[in-house]
Each structure stands twice: as C-alpha cells, then as structure tokens.
Structure 1
C-alpha cells in the first residue's frame, strides 16, 4: 500500500526530477514488507541525487511495516523513516517463553535474506548458555521457482524432527507465509511461534483438540486499543463500505448458519450486506492489527509534523519567488518529521527518530484452530524488556492453568528430563540438549531436574536411597547396648569368671602332684594373665576416649606377652625336666635355679619398651570413620603409628611362633601328664587365630574391625585356657585317683 500525500498546489503537475519550483513535495507511506520500502528508498536516493535545483530533497518515506535494522542505514536510505518501535529484543522474548515452558528442542524457519540471517544470529546469541538447541533451521528461499523445488525438503525437515515447537520469523505475503499455510494444510501439528499477523490460521484437516495447546503463538507489538474502533467495525454495514467478505470469516458464518440455525436470529444475518455486529458476538478479533496500527501512527506523525511546521512559519518577503517560498517550508517540515515525538490518542509514545526509539513491548497471543479455518486470538501474556530480570515475561492465569494440567502442554526436548538422583551425560558429537541420564555415584545427590553434576554429601551426611537428599549420619560405636557388643562383653565376663574358677581350683589343690608338676607358679601367672586378657577386651566396647584408646593396645600387648612368654617358660621347663632325668645330663642346675622363670620378665620388658616407643612417637587417639558404614559416623580408636602397632604385634607373634616351635619339638617327650602335647596344641590354636586375624582385620572397617579384634582376643585366650588347664581340671575334679604320688612313681603316662 502506497499513499502519496501532496501539500503543494495540484495545478503544478510536473515530473519532480526536472524542476524544484514546480514541485509536488510529499510523503510516501510504504509497507508492510521491508523489501517494498527498500526498493522505493533506493529509487528516491537515485532520483534526489539527480536533482540540480535548490530543493532537491522533496520526498520522504515512512515505513509502516515491522522495524527492520537494514532500513536504518541512512547512507543507503537517507529519506526513509520507520514508525514502528525497535524489535531488537524479540529473540530474547521468544527465548524467555521457551525457557518458561521448558521447550529446549525447537525448529526455526526464516527467510533467505538479511532479515532472517540477523534474527538467526540474535536467536543463537540468546540461546547460548540457556541449554536451548535448534533442531533444524529451514532457510526458506524467497524466489518462488527455487522455493517450489525445495518445498518438499522443508516439509520433511519438520516432519522428521522431534521438535514440537517451531519458530517462524518473517514477513507476510512471502514464501515463508506460503510454507506456513502449506504445513497447516498437510496436517502438521506443532506449536508455531511466529510474528506473522495471520488473520486466519487454516487447518484444512479440520482436526482440532480442545484440550490441546497445539496451535500458534503470535508475538505482536503491544499497543493500546483504538477508542471506538471495535464499535465502528461492529456497526459498519457491508453495503455502505463494500469489502471482501472473505476477510470476515464467511466460512465460519456459513458453517454456523447451515449447521446451527439457532444461532442465527434471522436469515438476514447470513447475507453479505448486513451489519458486522453479529460477527463480533461470534468471537471475531476486532482489534487493529500491528501494521494497521503503524499506519495509524504514521498518519498522525505526518499531521503532527505539518502542524508544527505551520505553527512555526514566518512571513516571507512578497518578492521572494514561489519555489523559494515553498522550499523553506518543505525543509522545515522534514526536519520536524525527523525529530517528531508525541503521545498518540491511545496513550502510546510514537517517535520517528531512530536514535530515540525504544524497544517494543510484546503481546503474546495464542490462536486456536477451529474447523473451517476460524482463528480466535487469546492474549495469554506480555513481554516487557524494561522490567526487572525474571519479571519481563508475564503470563496470564489462564496459561498457568494450562501448565498445571487442565490442558496438556506437549514437551519439546531432544532428551527426556533427568529426574532427581540422576545427572546428565552428554553424547559426543550431538547437540548440548541431547544427553543420557546416569545415576549419581555413591554418596552423591542431585535434588533438581536436569543437573549437570551430582553434589557430594558432606562428610557428616549421607545420600538417601534415591540419591535426592543428604541425611544426617548417626554417630555410632561398639556399645554395650549393641547386640554384638553385649554378647562379646558377656563372653568376656564369663570366661574371666571361668578363669578365676580354674585359678581357685589350682590354689585349692596346689599340693597335688598335677599342680606341682611343671611349675605351679607359672600356672598361676598364666591364669592371672588370661583372666586380665579376657577383661581387657571390655576396653574395646563402649564410647572411646583417649584413655581407653591407649589402654586398649598397651594392655592387650603386655598381657598377651606375659601369657605367651609364660607358655614358653612352661615349655622350656618341660624340656629341661626331661633332660635332667636322662643319665649323664648336667642341666639339673638350670632347672633347680629357676632360669626358665626369667623368660617372663625379660620378654615382657622388651614389649614394654616397644609400647613406650609407640606411645612416645605416635600414640593411639580417638578418630571418626564416616565411610565404613552407610549412614553412620563410627567413633573408633585410631592406632596412631601403624608401624609401631605392627612391631608390637609382630613381636608377640614371634614369641608365639617360638613357643609353638619349642612345644612341637618336645611334644613326644614321655612326661607323666602329657604337658608338652597340651602346650603344643594350645600354641597351635593361638597362632591359627592370630594368623587368621590379620587378613580379616584388614578386610573389615568400622565397628567390624573392633569386633574382629575382640573376638580374636577371646578365642586365643580360650584356646590357651582350654588346651592347658581343662585336662588338668578334669583329673583334679573328676579323676583324683590319677592325681597321686603312686601314679607318678610308677611313671606311667596318663592319656586322655
């Protein structure tokens, strides 16, 4: 549409590029496509440069279509102005809507021109870092012949894509609009996000689902409603203002009149020359379109500029030639037009100067697809770039109801959302929106959707089974309330009492041959040390503190050293006793002097020295173990110096191996009470227990380590007690006849 407004006398009808004194200076309103304005702007540039008179710049253009950055090039288009506000934030507005509905996998259709290229660049800049991806980019050729050859490719690209949302950016009356209509005709159901101001969204299949969000979302420049415009349209008679009835949705009227006659109060409402009020009642959109609103503002801009020019006129000398009289007025008018800024009748700010233009606010309209091609626009929100971050996009309550389930909004993602407890794992060579979901590693959580990385729980917390939250760990230790702790404590007390009972039996029968044989003092020392070995296991049960941690290891090491060295002394005593009874032997002095008894203090002293070094360098201390048991923080005693611990344990082990070796070599000696055999078997049990202890101890953690150590103490002590003293108690209590001097004199060995 081109409007040529004259303000010179109509009697001067000369071609404007010949003479300035006979000019028809005016304004051209061009649009709505930027291409038409571009061609006319280029033509006027050439035309004005060819003018040789004083007033060669007589014509100006006002583009009333959408704002286009290319038309802002004043070198290329020096006589062209744009009335529409800037749309540089359109891409950001669309991205904000996509993020709101979590549409991360979208398609794009743009024209093959500078406008489409600029929008693609803006869109990519805004989606960067927002985890949005373009599934495809349809660059629609503007050449009709080339478009016809590629139309099928454009169609397949949309149909085969998983993207349910497609952005269409371009102008009306182009191959892009033709593509849109073709895709709708072929029944492609997508969410179309566009700037195309289509009056009718055609769905030739007649396939509409009321509970579906499928349809078209239009971003339209926000403006206030023109006063009385709807009333004028509603009361306008088609006979008074002949117009194309197709623009008034005749198919909808015919459909309702033929199928639902009850809605037609009379048949006259179905005639072409009737009032349009009935159309408005049926839901037609009577609001002024964006391009018509820009045209409305362009006319007002011309009127305001003319008013200011006439108001500022001054008297000119009567002798001044007419063309010199007109030219200042013309130049003043164009200057006023270039800098015009006003509030139009509906309250919107209008400016022609691009240096003072502001970015547009956008109305977000949702168009429903009814049968027979009726399109109903529903405003669902608004975008304002001047609001605070997070408040720029506003959606109505009706849209919020759609998002909460009253109407199902389809998703548009390349990969399904990773739920809490999982993290994204990107596929190599694919877009950032395409990923797999993997469970979080142990003791790590993700409590939001689509988390890139899982978060490790603090040391005092642990991940729940779904790995969505960190829970507080429970502080625990081997306590007396624990079933295993209680059982071990009871065993320790029982065996300690049993040892005391055996000691009482030996004291009571201390003058009997079986007690006197093989040094009863050593037997007392061994029984006392075993009693305390049982009791020292109680130090491992209960809440650890620095004292118990030190006593645990030192007491254990010293008491077992005494016990094992006593067994070694008893074994050597048996060997010496046999040697002294053989003819020609001279070792009676060693046995009589009690030399084997010095083994006990010497071996114990060495162990005390090792323990002293251990305590002096790196003693045991209270520690926490947050990793051994899921959901628990275990209070344990740390050994301190591991080298010192294994040195003490190694020394004890060497004593045990030495005792076992001596006892094994003396096992067949013909002593009266088979003492050597019992000592051999007791040390075999002792060594077996502690050899098993080492690998099991290292394969367990937390409370299990303490349990293993306590169990090893109890079993090894029971082995020594049972193998050495139970046979003697059997003779003392149940077979007293064998515990006599006569039996010993006969030198008959006693076997059990």
Structure 2
C-alpha cells in the first residue's frame, strides 16, 4: 500500500491537507527554507504550504486537528521549486553559460498576508538576526534577482519593498497587462506571455461550436473589469451574447463557501457554456458552489491559471469533467520529469518538504526533533508514484515560467560579465559581489528561447504565443488528465487561427454529442429571425419569409427577394426560373378565341355572300345596300382583329392591335350611324323637307364614315407619336410565370379611343331610337337601336373587368369583348334579314309589301 488509510480519508477533502499533526508541526516549526550554494544566488518565494487558524474555518470540508492550526500543502507550487532547482542545476553544468560562476538558490515559503510575506523578505535579504537591508544590499550582496508568484498579490507585496532598492524581481504568475501599463513597479518583470489574444481565442472557440449564449464568471478586480470589457467587445463583434455576468469578489486565502448572487437565476439559465476568468485560489468559493450543485451538464471554459486537480469532493461525478482550458503553448523540457522522479529526501536531505511528503504518502517514520524520516520507507519511492490528480509529473505553466525566469537571469549575468561592467575580481567558489540594480539593462534586452520563439522580458516588446486548448478528463473520478485537443495561434491566417479535434473531447453531457448553448433555436431555411425589442440579438423568433422571398441559410436576419425572372418555391428556400408565357395559339384560351374569331369572320363572309346573291331583292335594297356591304366587310375584319392579340407579342403586333381595333370599330359604328340617319331621313321627308330630301338623294349620310374614320386616325397618330404601345413583361400577375403582354403605352389614349367609340355608339343608338316605331316592313331601326344597346352594354361591362384582371386574362377579356360586340352587330342587324331571305323568301317580294300596305289602309 502506497498510502495510509489516514491520508486517503483526508485527501478526499478540499483542499489537500497534511493529515498528521506531526507533519504539520514540522513545516511550521522549521519555517521552511532551503539553500543551494553559489557565487550568485537567486531567491524564490513560493507558497509551498499555507497555515490557517481553525477558529476561522467554517467550511465543512476542513479537517480539524487537535491543535490550533491546520496546514494546506500546495503540491503544484512545489513543482515550481523543483523547476527552479532543475534550471540552476542545468546552468551550473553548462560550460558555455556563466563559466567560472556558479548559481545558487534560496527558496522560502510565503505565508498568507502582507505582514508575514514582508517579514520573510526582510529575513532573507538580511545577513543577521538584526534586519539591515540597506547594509546587506550595498556591500555584501550576491543576490541577483527574486522570483515571486504565482499570485499577483504576492508579487505586489514583495515588489513594494524591492522596488525601493531597484532589486530585480521576476514574477512567474499570469501576465497582468494593467500592472505593466501602469508601470507601478519599475524593477518587476513578468515572465508569462501576454494574454492579448486570449479573449479572441475564447470567442473563436465559441464560434467553432456555435455557442452564442454564454455565461461569465469573472473576478471582481481591475484585471477582471478589463477582461470583461475586452471579452464583451469581441463577443459583440462576432454575435456571441451574454446570458449573465457574475463578478466574483476576491477571496484569496479564504476557504469560506460563499454563494454567488442570483444563484437560482444562473443555475436555471439556458446557457450551457460558462466562461470563468480568474485564478483558482481567488475563486475557491465559486468552485465549491459548482461542486455542491453538481452542474455536470455545463461546459466550463477556464484559463490556464486554474489548478483543476486541486479540488475534490465526496461525489463520484466531477462537475468540471469535460472543461476546456486555455493554456499557453510550451514545449517539453528534456530531463525535467527524470529530475522530479529522482528528487527524494536522500538527494535533498535539507528539504523538509520532501520529508513531509514521504511521511504522508509512503508511511515513513518521522523524527520530531529535526523533521527527518529515518526508516520504514517504501524502497525507491519517488514523486512519480503519486497519482496524476495529486502530483502531476507534466510541467505546469508556472513551472515553465520559473524555468525561463532562471535562464533569463543567467543570460543577463552572462552578458554583464562579458561586458565587464563594474565587477569585482573573484575566484571560483567565492561570492560575486555586485549591485543588483546593475542587472536591469541586461534583463530588459535578454533573449531566451521559449518554444523556438525569441521572447524578451520587456513587457512592451513581448510577443504573443500560441495557446493549447486542453480538455479536463476526470471520469472516472481521480483520473485528472489535461488532454490537448486543439490550438489557437493569433499569428495564423484568419480562418486557420483555431484548430481543434472535436472527436477527442469528452463532454460532461456525453461522449460524442456537442452541447448546445443558444438562447433561441436556429431558424431553418425558409425562415428569418424576428428580434424582440429590448432583448439581446441572440434571442429571437422565427417567421416565414414573405411571398417571393427566400432564405437558403440558417439564422438569416433578412430574407432575400428573388429577381424578377425568378420566384420562390413553396418552401421559400430556392428561387426558381419563371416560365415565360403569353396568350398563345396552343393555350385553351387561345384556341377557343382563335376558333371563334375565324368562325364568326367566315359567318360574316357568308352573310355578305347572301346579300350579294340577293342584292336585287327588296329586303337587301331597303336599307342602303352600300352601307350594308361596308358594315359586313368591316365586321368581317373586326372578327379577324383578335388574331393580332393571340401569339407572341411583338412591337408591330402591339401597335397594330389597338390602332386596327380602333379604326375598324370606328368604321363599323360610323356605318351604323349612317344607316340610322338614313332611316330617319327616309321616313321624315315631307313637302317642306326639301333639305332632308336632298340629303337623302345625295347620300350625304355616307360621308359620316370617312369623317369619323379620319378623326380616329388623328387620335391614333397622336397616340403613336406621344406614347405608342410596346412589348412588356408582367412578372407578378401569375405565380411562377412571366407574361409577355402589350403595354398600351398611354392609358389616356387607350381610354380616349374607347370613349370615342362609345360616343359613336350612343349617337347611333339615339338616331335609331328616334325611328324605332316608324311603320315599314323592312324598317331596321329597331334592330339598329337594340344592337347599339347590346354593344354599349358589352363595353361598359368590359371596363371594370379589364381593370380587375391581369396578365393573359386581360388580353382574353379584350378579345372576348371585341368578338361579343361584333357578334351583336352581326346577329341583331343581319340575322333577321338572312332569316327572311333564306327561310321566308315569300316575304322578300313586292307583292307581299303591297298586300301588307293595303291591309293596313283598310284597317279602321
């Protein structure tokens, strides 16, 4: 057994505690400090463990000892100590770096609070029990620099003192842009790279997985406020919305479990992705709440400063399983793992920390007097025997920064020696005495290799490194692996900055399915987003696209209108090509109208033939034979006029349609008017009516036809001159079709033509109406009056129907009106005459006329 049952029962608590009073007392009593001899010494301040008084602890996770304190061992920070020792050992074994000079080290534990931290610093930099920092620095100092971290609070406490004496200080914690920009500490250098593009990387990850509805937990300090501003700005530019923002009050060093504000609202939020920005020490209360609530369905996006393996609980399911972590990219340091495995109490007998770990983890007996293990230890035990969730053998980011910080100091010292700047002559093995502030110019320009990229310690010139995206695997509980699943490179091309292997990610919600985090479900193609007033852009309703508009992508803000030559399909996803159509001869309407046109034209020709054959009969002669011939020929042409409206329109056919129609109907109506006047004149002749007799004999009514026709020609000339008809396309009347039609050009001219024809029809009707009751066997006044009545009715009905229809129907209605009005003239005026000529020939004789006249006179 590697572990005692006492340790296992304690290890399940939060945080990792030394579960033995003897071990805790050793660390406290020995005031943990280790040394390594050398000409030049680098001091490191690390929070290797923390001491807390029990009477201030209220968290149920804390194990209460029998004395007045408890100790928290921070194994992750101990790896930083080993990284410092490893780097110094490498440098001392390198004959090309700092020849004839050896580096030494001094490691001190940092207790909680500014008071104890400054006390340790004074004690380290003083040569005697009486603290005299000025004397030590000015005369006998062989200290080159101080390493601090990982918390910025620790570096700030120490920097307040060291900056007074321009003592070089390198912090290996996360880079703080605000502190660098404010230049509060001129002697402090941040080894970690800038996080300038961290917000861009987080937003790129959100966009990759289509997470547009996220929550934010951010530490409530100046850095957190700046991060929130940068993150919101980047999210707004890329359409990612914030479900909630919770600022967490800084609780460094406190283990009190505090609930965050609006807890119920946050837990019930539809956001399944939550970004947490802040270090794990500061947000301990937050992580405890997360552990308590078992939020296993949430995806946590963390920054690299989180030590996720530090937190544990009694539950079998880890709420942080599946979390995605942004970590600065770094290459493996050769031999560092071997160095840690070989680190044991035998190799470093003065390191009390290792003795305590061996006592806790490997059941070694302990001597209380000097806190050294003596016997009953597991043979060949090493830190590599510990599980990964207790001590990770992979180099952490902070350890990597410590390693680079030591090399930065070494290169600066090497450069200073080469330039022989105010150095005293010394022999190997003796201390080198110099002023630490002399190292600043070299630190600012020192280059050291980090991931094959030249980095500089001057914060103004620091380049921006890549990020590794890690996936935290902790199922089954205790696995504690950070698996690299992707990278983010700010310097890569726009669409290649983020590279991620989704199939490698273990999600808290399941092994394969990518969690969704949206405020509203996506609008499918055929719909568009309808944003709600006063609500963020990510929350919307989906509404179908309007007629003839489409959306062929998901979550479109606006539908796209189809071109005139296309129309939207029923799903409103695609624009389809419209079919070009017109009133063709092959259409049912076209065939019917063409048949009627030719049929009635042939019938009119037949009537004309009948009249020509029987031109010597009384009924044919009775009503001005030339006018009858003229009317029949005109009607025959009127019946053929609809053929101009059928077929593919052209400019010539469009011009001929309306003008031929107007001229023919003008001739027909003027002929009817002449016939009506002739009837009136014939029956109104008296002795005193010589003028009427002259008009009748001279056939003056026949001149009405050319006069009326010339007036119509004049109207047509104006029409063609001002705005002639032209070929047009109607893309709206019939869905999915483009109808080729003849545009009238001038609507006023068209209606003037109709009005002129209406005036002729009314005049003819009026004249025929006057002679409707005149006694005569072959008097056609009644038929003329009735034909004009029907003619006017047809065209009065046509106008509202014409304006209420579109496309081919409009053309068909106009053709039908032409045929109907022409048929009324033919049928009412000439059919009765043909009836008498063909079926009742006995009535078409002079004897019948005389007998009928004699009978009327004999009648009393």
Indicate which of 603, 609, 612 corresponds to 2:714.
609
The answer on whether the counterparts of 1:203 and 1:370 sit within 8 Å (CA) in structure 2 is no
Quick one: distance in 2 between partners of 1:445 and 1:719? 50
Indicate which of 839, 846, 851 corresponds to 1:734.
839
- Confirm whether residue 171 of structure 1 aligns to residue 279 of structure 2: yes
Indicate which of 687, 690, 699 corresponds to 1:594.
699
Quick one: distance in 2 between partners of 1:358 and 1:341? 12
Quick one: distance in 1 between partners of 2:465 and 2:483? 20
- What stretches of structure 1 of length at least 5 have no aligned partner? 49-55, 249-269
Displacement of 1:465 after TM fit?
Answer: 2.7
Displacement of 1:607 after TM fit?
Answer: 1.0
- Confirm whether residue 304 of structure 1 aligns to residue 422 of structure 2: no
Displacement of 1:454 after TM fit?
Answer: 2.6
- Confirm whether residue 458 of structure 1 aligns to residue 458 of structure 2: no
Give the 3-state SS of the residue equivalent to 1:408 in structure 2.
Answer: coil
Measured against aligned partners, the alpha-carbon deviations of 1:211-266 in whole angstroms (never above 9, x if no partner) come to: xx983111111111232445666788999966769999xxxxxxxxxxxxxxxxxx
Distance 1:148 1:680, change over 3 A: farther
User: After the TM superposition, which of the residue ranges 625-634 and 61-70 deviates more from structure 2?
Assistant: 625-634
Displacement of 1:78 after TM fit?
Answer: 2.0
The answer on whether the counterparts of 2:761 and 2:792 sit within 8 Å (CA) in structure 1 is yes
Displacement of 1:739 after TM fit?
Answer: 2.1
The answer on whether the counterparts of 2:623 and 2:679 sit within 8 Å (CA) in structure 1 is yes
Pairing of 1:282-681 with structure 2 (within 5 A): 286-313=393-420, 326-328=433-435, 330-343=436-449, 347=452, 349-372=454-477, 374-396=479-501, 398=503, 407-580=512-685, 587-673=692-778, 675-681=780-786
Distance 1:746 1:153, change over 3 A: farther
User: After the TM superposition, which of the residue ranges 614-623 and 107-116 deviates more from structure 2?
Assistant: 614-623
Displacement of 1:663 after TM fit?
Answer: 2.6
Quick one: distance in 2 between partners of 1:246 and 1:583? 155
Displacement of 1:95 after TM fit?
Answer: 0.9
Corresponding pairs, count = 706
The answer on whether the counterparts of 2:384 and 2:393 sit within 8 Å (CA) in structure 1 is no
Pairing of 1:200-239 with structure 2 (within 5 A): 206=316, 215-230=322-337
- Confirm whether residue 39 of structure 1 aligns to residue 149 of structure 2: no
Displacement of 1:206 after TM fit?
Answer: 4.0
Distance 1:128 1:227, change over 3 A: same
Normalising by structure 2, what TM-score? 0.75
Distance 1:685 1:339, change over 3 A: same
For residue 27 of structure 2, what is the aligned residue in structure 1? Answer: none
Quick one: distance in 2 between partners of 1:289 and 1:315? 38
For residue 794 of structure 2, what is the aligned residue in structure 1? Answer: 689
For residue 15 of structure 1, what is the aligned residue in structure 2? Answer: 131
Pairing of 1:73-84 with structure 2 (within 5 A): 73=181, 75-84=183-192
Pairing of 1:189-200 with structure 2 (within 5 A): 189-195=297-303, 196-199=306-309
For residue 26 of structure 2, what is the aligned residue in structure 1? Answer: none
User: After the TM superposition, which of the residue ranges 393-402 and 645-654 deviates more from structure 2?
Assistant: 393-402
The answer on whether the counterparts of 2:251 and 2:284 sit within 8 Å (CA) in structure 1 is no
User: After the TM superposition, which of the residue ranges 194-203 and 733-742 deviates more from structure 2?
Assistant: 194-203
The answer on whether the counterparts of 1:425 and 1:436 sit within 8 Å (CA) in structure 2 is yes
For residue 711 of structure 1, what is the aligned residue in structure 2? Answer: 816
Quick one: distance in 1 between partners of 2:360 and 2:181? 36
For residue 63 of structure 2, what is the aligned residue in structure 1? Answer: none
User: After the TM superposition, which of the residue ranges 96-105 and 80-89 deviates more from structure 2?
Assistant: 96-105
Give the 3-state SS of the residue equivalent to 1:451 in structure 2.
Answer: coil
Distance 1:294 1:572, change over 3 A: same
Displacement of 1:22 after TM fit?
Answer: 4.2
Distance 1:464 1:521, change over 3 A: same
Give the 3-state SS of the residue equivalent to 2:631 in structure 1.
Answer: helix
Displacement of 1:112 after TM fit?
Answer: 0.8
Quick one: distance in 2 between partners of 1:318 and 1:290? 38
User: After the TM superposition, which of the residue ranges 102-111 and 586-595 deviates more from structure 2?
Assistant: 586-595
Distance 1:155 1:515, change over 3 A: same
Distance 1:243 1:165, change over 3 A: farther
For residue 28 of structure 1, what is the aligned residue in structure 2? Answer: 146
Displacement of 1:150 after TM fit?
Answer: 6.7
Distance 1:272 1:558, change over 3 A: farther
The answer on whether the counterparts of 1:284 and 1:376 sit within 8 Å (CA) in structure 2 is no
Quick one: distance in 1 between partners of 2:205 and 2:359? 33
For residue 182 of structure 1, what is the aligned residue in structure 2? Answer: 289
For residue 259 of structure 1, what is the aligned residue in structure 2? Answer: none
Quick one: distance in 1 between partners of 2:394 and 2:253? 36
Give the 3-state SS of the residue equivalent to 1:634 in structure 2.
Answer: strand
Quick one: distance in 1 between partners of 2:840 and 2:345? 134
Quick one: distance in 2 between partners of 1:97 and 1:80? 33
The answer on whether the counterparts of 2:125 and 2:133 sit within 8 Å (CA) in structure 1 is no
Distance 1:203 1:556, change over 3 A: farther
Distance 1:520 1:83, change over 3 A: same
Measured against aligned partners, the alpha-carbon deviations of 1:697-720 in whole angstroms (never above 9, x if no partner) come to: 112222222111111111111111
Measured against aligned partners, the alpha-carbon deviations of 1:158-208 in whole angstroms (never above 9, x if no partner) come to: 21322111110001211x243134224302221111112412676865458
Quick one: distance in 1 between partners of 2:680 and 2:258? 108
Give the 3-state SS of the residue equivalent to 2:732 in structure 1.
Answer: coil
Indicate which of 256, 261, 269 corresponds to 1:161.
269
Give the 3-state SS of the residue equivalent to 1:380 in structure 2.
Answer: strand
Give the 3-state SS of the residue equivalent to 1:372 in structure 2.
Answer: coil
Distance 1:75 1:550, change over 3 A: closer
Distance 1:287 1:720, change over 3 A: farther
- Confirm whether residue 724 of structure 1 aligns to residue 829 of structure 2: yes
Displacement of 1:562 after TM fit?
Answer: 0.8
User: After the TM superposition, which of the residue ranges 736-745 and 14-23 deviates more from structure 2?
Assistant: 14-23
The answer on whether the counterparts of 2:246 and 2:261 sit within 8 Å (CA) in structure 1 is no
- Confirm whether residue 90 of structure 1 aligns to residue 198 of structure 2: yes
- What stretches of structure 2 of length at least 5 have no aligned partner? 1-45, 48-80, 82-103, 108-123, 348-353, 362-377, 856-860
Displacement of 1:32 after TM fit?
Answer: 1.2
Quick one: distance in 1 between partners of 2:660 and 2:852? 41
Measured against aligned partners, the alpha-carbon deviations of 1:629-654 in whole angstroms (never above 9, x if no partner) come to: 33333322222222222222211111
- Confirm whether residue 71 of structure 1 aligns to residue 176 of structure 2: no
The answer on whether the counterparts of 2:525 and 2:572 sit within 8 Å (CA) in structure 1 is yes
User: After the TM superposition, which of the residue ranges 90-99 and 190-199 deviates more from structure 2?
Assistant: 190-199
Distance 1:178 1:374, change over 3 A: farther
Quick one: distance in 1 between partners of 2:835 and 2:505? 89
Give the 3-state SS of the residue equivalent to 1:135 in structure 2.
Answer: strand
Pairing of 1:99-114 with structure 2 (within 5 A): 99-114=207-222
Measured against aligned partners, the alpha-carbon deviations of 1:364-386 in whole angstroms (never above 9, x if no partner) come to: 11224524354333322100111
Distance 1:126 1:494, change over 3 A: same
The answer on whether the counterparts of 1:201 and 1:373 sit within 8 Å (CA) in structure 2 is no
Distance 1:201 1:398, change over 3 A: farther
